[in-house]
Amino acid sequence: MHNPALSSLNSNLTFIIARLTVLRLIIAALLLIFVIYLQLSHFNPELAIWFILAGYLPLLLTGWLQSKNGLNSNHLTLHLIIEVQLITLFLYFTGGAGNPLISYFLVLVVIAAYNLNKLSVWLISCACIIDYSLLTQFYLPLELPMSSHHLASSGQGSLILWHLSGMWLTFVISTITLSLLIPSLMASAVEKRQQLTELRERQLKNEQLIGIATLAAGTAHEMGTPLMTMEMLLNDSLEHGESLNQQDRELLHQQVILCQQSLQRLARAGRDINTVSESINADQWLVSLLHRWRLSQPNALWISLGFEHHANIRKSQLLDQALLNLLDNAAQAGNEIIELSSKVVDEQWQLTIRQPDPQASSQIQPDNLFNSQKEHGIGLGLYLSNASIEQFNGQVHLSANNDGSTSCIISLPCRDGA
């Protein structure tokens, strides 16, 4: 089975070995320059130094090949261990712990701490500490001109000894600190990334569930009228003991088709939810939805108080259903014709749905505007519509006016081309 996390880890290690190979090439070049400098300074380096430098060639070649073909953490651990030993052997012949190159051990410890498990990190750290400690006692000194004799005669020998001891202690403390701190920081960072990923996944699932619930609630609204019509026809037929005439059968067939279309829209919208990122003219969108609303609510009436014709908003089935739900609630909240108007304010397209009935505000609970007191309503449509519109960075503001009427203001961000 394909493991994305393992693939990501291997890809990261491949990237690290590629960069480490480049770094090794630079180090090998510096070592070669250093040896040439020693020769020019009339110090004949041991023959073994050339073999040690030659040992970098297979390490570089292997690193280059594995950067192309991939590797695992064990390969990287082996690479670092071998390099630590190569550097240690080189330092043995070139002054031991007094050679500034010994600080390169810390670079290798940091690379291990960022990319390997704790066991491998401690293995490499212990190897560096042991090799550093041995190099303070066992090494071949570099007898460069005006070095040891001059320092001894000037009384600075003890100062250099203290300096070397301090370098060793600093290295040991730094290595242990890095080995403890960096893996913990990396583990914490990985855990936080996993938590963020899980939170994003849960948020996406919740948004999808809200979207599906909104579509389902809207579909129930759309199917309510056809089902009521069919119930009335069937009840009349049963009460009078008569079979349905041709006109009633055609009406029943039309209502069944309306129900089927509503269910088909629900199925399509459920598959395409949150995947469409197209824009649509707000005025055209509103007109098409009002036509669709008239089909599902034959008695729906509205008047236009002026629409903004030059605004684009995001196209989504969730927004379609949210607006239909809000139109249904406005129509059912009173007996008056609802009033519609739209405008653009601060790059926000605002649609106002007003129910002028003086008794409409009684349908709203003052402490929770998204609860309903309608005889057959529970406020679910309002709640889901608000949640859906918020997914598109929009807002729904439902208010009770002083004259008893209600206003519902829908705000959606305008898109490019508005």
pLDDT digits (tens, 9 = 90+) for 10-32: 666 777 777 788 888 888 888 88
Q: How confident is the model at residue 328 (pLDDT cuts 50, 70, 90)?
A: confident
In the Cβ-directed half-sphere of 178, how many Cα atoms lie within 13 Å?
25
CB atoms closer than 10 angstroms to residue 131? 19
- The 3-state DSSP class for residue 409 equals strand
Cα 18 from Cα 23, distance rounded (Å) = 9
Whether residue 372 has pLDDT greater than 50: no
pLDDT value for 370: 45
pLDDT at 208 over 60: yes
Tell me the residue type at 315: K
pLDDT in tens, 147-200: 445 544 544 555 566 566 667 876 777 777 677 767 766 776 777 788 888 888
Work out the average pLDDT over 384-393: 80
Strand partners, 304: 340
Q: Is the pLDDT of residue 56 over 70?
A: yes
Task: Give the chain's end-to-end CA distance (angstroms, integer).
Answer: 48
| DSSP β-ladder status, 338-345 and 302-304 | parallel
Reduce the DSSP state of residue 417 to 3 states and report it. Answer: coil
* Residue 95 contacts residue 139 (beta carbons within 8 Å): yes
Domains of the chain (ranges, CATH numbers): 4-145 (no CATH), 279-418 (3.30.565.10)
Predicted local distance difference test score (pLDDT) of residue 2:
46
**pLDDT for position 340:** 92
Q: Which helix (H) or strand (E) holds 368?
A: strand 368-372
* Per-position b or e across 317-333, b if 16+ CB within 10 A of its CB: bbbbbbbbbbbbbbbbb
Q: State the pLDDT at residue 148.
A: 46
Q: Are 363 and 335 in contact (CB under 8 A)?
A: no
> What is the spatial distance between Cα 418 and Cα 415, in angstroms, rounded to a whole number?
6
Residue 223's pLDDT band, with cuts at 50, 70 and 90, is confident
Q: Which residues of 98-124 are buried (b: 16+ CB within 10 A; e: fewer)?
A: bbeebebbeebbbbbbebbeeebbbbb
Q: By C-alpha distance, which of 258, 401, 379, 266 is closest to 326? A: 379
Element (H, E) at 54: helix 47-54
- pLDDT tens digit sequence for 89-136: 998 988 888 887 888 888 888 888 888 888 998 999 999 999 999 998
In this structure, what DSSP letter does residue 358 have?
Answer: T
Q: Which of 376, 286, 383, 275 is nearest to 325 (CA)?
A: 383
- Give the bridge partners for 355, in sequence order: 406
Q: What is residue 160's predicted lDDT score, i.e. its pLDDT? A: 66
How would you label 371-389 residue by residue, b for 16+ Cβ within 10 Å and e otherwise?
Answer: bbeeeebebbbbbbbbbbb
Is pLDDT of 326 > 70? yes
- Res. 146 pLDDT band, cuts 50 70 90: very low
Q: How confident is the model at residue 144 (pLDDT cuts 50, 70, 90)?
A: low
CA distance 113 to 297: 67
Mean per-residue pLDDT of the chain: 77
Bridge partners of 341, per DSSP, are: 352
